[in-house]
Amino acid sequence: MILATRSDDFCPLSVAAYADQALITDQQSDGASLSFPLLGLFGETGSLLSEVKKKQRDRISYIGYAESVVEELGDVLWYLTAVAARGDLPLEAIMTAAAGERSAHAEASLSFASLQPDIMPLQSGPSEAFEGTLLRLAGEVGLLMTDQVAGNLAERAKLSDRLVAITRTLIQAANEAGVTLEAAAVKNLSKIFDRWPRVRAHLEPLDADAEADEQLPRELTVDIFERQVGGQTYVFQRCNGLNIGDRLTDNAVEADDYRFHDVFHFAHVAVLTWSPVIRSLLRLKRKGDPKIDEVQDGARAILVEEGITTWMFGKATKLDYFDGVQPKQLSFDLLKHVRQFVAGYEVDQVPLWVWEEAILQGYAAFRFLRQHRRGRLRVDMRNRRLSIEALL
């Protein structure tokens, strides 16, 4: 059996420090109700069991099992933290009670490392013990939900007992999976601050190191309008008095105004500082670096961006093109899927909250064009803004 040890120079993450940081991202923290985090805890426990089911069903073809288990454990931990906070129970106290004798020998500030063995077995798949423990975890969470429905959790001691039982089983599950809760907590913090950062600061443009004449435009004005040609309605785009790109139709049996979809690519330029499609359109491929030219600006990267745009459009049509969706409200799962699309490309370093800005700004411009059928688009990369105004 392969064994993994913790690095001596790694600074242990304390349970209290994790709780303090995790609760910053509780978007529903103004409400005192336990319902929201309880539903989340129930759902994420189910997701953890689902990862085991997928591995059992597709034992050879399912890739990413270990990484998924770490992520799902982190999500369970987050909701456990939120439930404890709503019940005015410190997570450290819950963890201390769950760890029993191990916590008695821990340092003054309880760390995740002190909750588990120093040497953890690496598992390539779910063991029978792990599967059984996960079922017990689901059962413990089910009892918690039953008590909530019965109104029993108003009693602080009752809630504490239930959370301690869940936590004890969670620690055992992590041990049997060969996963440290410390790793799950660290990954969870990274994920949630990727989506809901403490400070919203944009990175420098992705092409900042490129030659000036190969950089995406920091400012750009594009007129977008419809015109009839041979009885067919096309969308044209004009920049600096010149038509750019092909004239566009919806390319669909039923009209859905996808002909205006280049606004999404311009939003990618303005907010993400990335768009292989617009690079190709404006002939700004980074020829100065053959590798970047081939990989980041090549045909495959263009297909990836077009794929994201088409996939997102399919989601948006069912959600009124995100009309009324405010920042911090776009689906987390949707944004995670976008990240999977761009894995391996330079834009995968862009935080999820920035992707949300790009998507919402792009769809605001799209809704304007659907209504007015023409508009003047302004790309302002320096301020990470895409705006649109009437085109007379």
For residues 6 and 59, the answer to whether their CB atoms sit within 8 Å is no
- Structure tokens that stand for 352 in this block: 């999820």
- Give the position of tokens 């913790």: 6
For residue 10, the model assigns a pLDDT of: 56
For residues 232 and 388, the answer to whether their CB atoms sit within 8 Å is no
For residue 169, the model assigns a pLDDT of: 96
Half-sphere exposure of 283 (CA within 13 A, CB side): 2
For residue 30, the model assigns a pLDDT of: 58
Largest pairwise CA distance in the chain: 82
For residue 58, the model assigns a pLDDT of: 59
Q: What's the whole-model pTM score? A: 0.86
For residue 103, the model assigns a pLDDT of: 57
- What are 42-99's pLDDT values in tens digits? 999 999 888 877 766 655 545 566 788 889 999 999 999 999 999 999 999 999 999 9
| Domains, the chain, ordered by start | 3-195 (1.10.4010), 212-389 (no CATH)
Give the dihedral sign, CA 97/99/100/104: negative
For residue 373, the model assigns a pLDDT of: 95
For residue 64, the model assigns a pLDDT of: 60
With a cut of 50, which residues of the chain have pLDDT below it? 1-8, 61
For residue 126, the model assigns a pLDDT of: 66
Give the other-Cβ count within 10 Å of 223's Cβ: 17
Exposure string of 189-219, with b = 16+ CB inside 10 Å and e = fewer, is bebbbbbbeeeeebeebbbeebeeebbbbee
For residue 102, the model assigns a pLDDT of: 61
- What are 331-354's pLDDT values in tens digits? 999 999 999 999 999 999 999 999
For residue 21, the model assigns a pLDDT of: 95
Q: What is the 3-state secondary structure (H, E, C) of the chain?
A: CCEEECCCCCCCCEHHHHHHHHHHCCCCCCCCCCHHHHHHHHHHHHHHHHHHHHHHHCCCCCCCHHHHHHHHHHHHHHHHHHHHHHCCCCHHHHHHHHHCHHHHCCCCCCECHHHCCCEEECCCCCCHHHHHHHHHHHHHHHHHHHHHHHCHHHCHHHHHHHHHHHHHHHHHHHHHHCCCHHHHHHHHHHHHHHHCCCCCCCCCCCCCCCCHHHCCCCEEEEEEEEEEECCEEEEEEEECCEECCCCECCCCCCCCCHHHCHHHHHHHHHHHCCCHHHHHHCCCCCCCCHHHHHHCCCHHHHHHHHHHHHHHHHHHHCCHHHCCCCCCCCCHHHHHHHHHHCCCCHHHHCCHHHHHHHHHHHHHHHHHHHHHCEEEEEEECCCCEEEEECCC
For residue 381, the model assigns a pLDDT of: 98
The set of residues, in sequence order, having a beta carbon less than 8 Å from that of 112 and lying 6+ positions away, is: 12, 13, 14, 15, 18, 180, 181, 182, 185
CA pair distance 227, 297, nearest whole angstrom: 31
> Residue 59 corresponds to which amino acid?
R
